[in-house]
A = this chain, B = another copy of it.
Amino acid sequence: MKINPADLNQVDVLKDAPLEDLNLIVEKSILRSIEEDSFYFFQGDPAKYAYILVTGRVKLVQSNPAGQQVNLRTIKQWEMFAALGAIRSDATYPVAAQALEPSSALAIESKVLQEMMQTRPYLNMGLMQLMTGYIQEMQNRYRELATEKVERRLALTILRLASQVGIKSQGQIELPLSQQDIAEASGSTIYTVSRTLSEWEKRGLIETGRGRIVMRNPHGLVEIAEGIESA
């Protein structure tokens, strides 16, 4: 596949980048295509590349010593991920990046990005915006996990995922994620997720299918998320 450099303006971090820089990035990077369930990198690998997702979807997961996983973020097209290495030159990836479907991503050497940052203020600003957004999201999720009950957390998780990787089809938003993914993203278990989603389906809030959740009544979910439980 060929990348059209102009497309890179869709990447938030690069929205103010001049075309010549986009050309430079495409020229200096390589396109890595991987199949479903494969990894771009593992937790602990030296952070040699930053990535821009070109096609597919990728999740960033972290495992504890016992092997239990949490989903920290789901990446969609034209999102940059693993930019950490560009900032901490000695760093290893603190997460693993696993493809949710066949995917391809531009791999940019951390070194290249670092050099570009020396002389391009827009790149610094873009990366900082990205990072502050991450920090705020993680702080919110941490607070939710510490203080909210599962049902509410699930509603918050699904709303968040919908805004990040939801797909609009026929006026409805669809999440192409398995219940396992939802469980790992909300800090719960597949059993509780299944039970809760079934309950919501009965109430007409959502529609579930294998590896798929359709939001029928987003407002109802917002009410659950905010604790305006009608039940």
Contact = CB atoms under 8 A, between A and B. Distances in A.
Interface stretch (A29-37, A99-107, A133-141, A206-214): A133-141
Most chain-B Cβ atoms within 10 A of its Cβ — which of A64, A70, A143? A143
B138 A139 contact: yes
A68 B147 contact: yes
Contacts of A145: 142, 145-146, 187
A139 B95 contact: yes
A190 B122 CA distance: 46
A124 interface: yes
Contacts of A128: 87, 124, 127-128, 131
Interface residues of A, number: 40
A171 interface: no
A45 interface: no
A129 B129 CA distance: 14
A84 interface: yes
How many copies of this chain? 2
Given A147-B70, A148-B64, A227-B66, A138 B142 contact: yes
Interface string A176-217: 000000000001000000000000000000000000000000
A121 interface: yes
B66 A129 contact: no
B187 A94 contact: no
A72 interface: yes
Nearest to A135: B134
A146 B138 CA distance: 13
Interface of A: 62, 64-66, 68, 70, 72, 84, 87-88, 91, 94-95, 117-118, 121, 124-125, 127-129, 131-132, 134-136, 138-148, 187, 226-227
